[in-house]
Amino acid sequence: MGLRLKDASARWGAINWLPVQVQNAAGLAAGVATSSLSDTNKWLVAAEYFWDSDPGTGNGTPLSVAAAEAFTLGAPGTNLCNVNVSSLPLGLHQLGLRLKDASAHWGAMNWLPVQVQNAAGLAAGVVTSSVSDTNKWLVAAEYFWDSDPGTGNGTPVSVTAGESFTLGVPGTNLWNVDVSSLPGGSTNWVCARRMPPPAGAPSTGCRLPCRARPWCW
């Protein structure tokens, strides 16, 4: 799923993609195994990651994790995770993550979109501006599924002009996106912002819950 934002100077930002897994509610509920939180057989004991395609369970790059009911990788937690992207070509990639419990059951894949860009070119393209410059405020947004229809051709999202905004919980801009027309499987949603903010400026981002049918995970 894609979202793209526009500032008050009519400049559209780049695209950020968010994968959305569409599943059947009845089948998902029936497949959930009930267990106590204290059941150590269900604790997470292993993790692996991979790029762009699934190499098969157990064939990804292993991540060091401590057995627990849950864990967090990366800042601000204590399990720092540095993933080397030097071998990846410039462009959009998908980082896959899969976990295994103490009963040797591997979970489903979770995909995270990663945009690889050239540091020198990115820095040169940043427009410096004051945080109070209203010409750089965000004034419009649009979303779309799976492919880019072109700037201004997505489904518009109502936003209030500002330096930044949040869509979805826990903010006040609640947003429901209908996924009933999408086939089952992994679908890309996009979140975009106008450009990296100048030093000291707040970053522009969005958190988007999915509240639709038949099911969104």
Burial of 142 by CB count in 10 Å (0-12 exposed, 13-18 middle, 19+ buried)? Answer: buried
Domain range for 54 = 43-120
pTM for the model? 0.55
| 49-19-17 Cα angle (round to 5) | 105
Domain-located, residue 72? yes
Band of pLDDT at residue 42, cut at 50, 70 and 90: confident
Please state the rounded mean pLDDT for residues 155-180.
76
Instruction: With beta carbons less than 8 A apart as the criterion, state whether 162 and 173 touch.
Output: no
pLDDT at 59 over 90: yes
Those residues whose C-beta lies under 8 Å from the C-beta of residue 131, and which sit 6 or more positions away, are 163, 197, 198, 200, 201, 202
In the block, which residue shows the tokens 């050239």? 118
CATH code of the domain covering residue 97: 2.60.40
* 134 located within any domain: no
Q: Does residue 64 form part of some domain? A: yes
The number of domains in the chain is 1
Instruction: Please tell me the least confidently modeled range out of 74-88, 115-129, 132-146, 193-207.
Output: 193-207
pLDDT band at 185 (very low <50, low <70, confident <90, very high): low
Residue 7, in any domain of the structure: no
97-155, pLDDT tens digit by residue? 999 999 898 988 888 888 888 877 665 555 566 667 888 888 888 988 888 899 999 98
Domain contains 62: yes
What one-character-per-residue DSSP string does 141-196 give? EEEEBSS---TT-SEEE----BS----STTSS-------TTSPSEEEEEE---SSP
Report yes or no: 25 and 214 within 8 Å, Cβ to Cβ. Answer: yes
Does some domain include residue 192?
A: no
% of residues, the chain, pLDDT over 70: 68
Domain membership flag for residue 20: no
Q: What is the mean pLDDT of residues 64-70?
A: 83
Predicted local distance difference test score (pLDDT) of residue 214:
28
